[in-house]
Amino acid sequence: MTTPDLPRLVAFYRDVVGFELTYRFPDEGAPEFVALRLGNSELGLAANPEADEPADSHRWELCVYADDCDAAVGALRTGGATVTEEPVDQPWGERSARVTDPDGNRLLVLARL
């Protein structure tokens, strides 16, 4: 994922979503690329000053499982996410909600019922 503000997006995914920083390039100075991990999932973020438009495509979204969908959405909202769909129980046995990160990228938050 590219972003015009790499430090802001790294802080969001690390501090709010719970990803762990596993790699950064270069080692010193302002990072150009970072790798993050949450469980068995990895996310790469790259600095791109020209990536200034919000991601408004509905062709993809990052799915994140939480123990408690409502609590996760509350923490994401407090951490700077915009809630676009409040938590709701789904007939297939999950509770889901949708948020956007500070760059406008879509996240689907899920919890098993």
pLDDT digits (tens, 9 = 90+) for 29-64: 999 999 999 999 999 999 988 876 665 666 678 999
28: pLDDT confidence band, cut at 50, 70 and 90? Answer: very high
Top pLDDT among 88 and 103 is at: 88
Q: What is the largest CA-CA distance in the chain?
A: 49
| Average pLDDT, integer, range 1-15 | 94
Token pair 């990160």 in the structure block, residue: 101
The pLDDT, as a whole number, for residue 60 is: 79
Residue type, 84: T
List, in order of start, the domains of the chain with CATH numbers.
1-49 (3.10.180.10), 61-113 (3.10.180.10)
On whether the CB atoms of residues 69 and 111 are closer than 8 A, the answer is yes
- Cα 68 from Cα 2, distance rounded (Å): 29
**CB neighbour list of residue 29: distance below 8 Å, 6 or more residues apart:** none
pLDDT of 93 above 80: yes
Question: Mean pLDDT, the chain, as a whole number?
Answer: 92
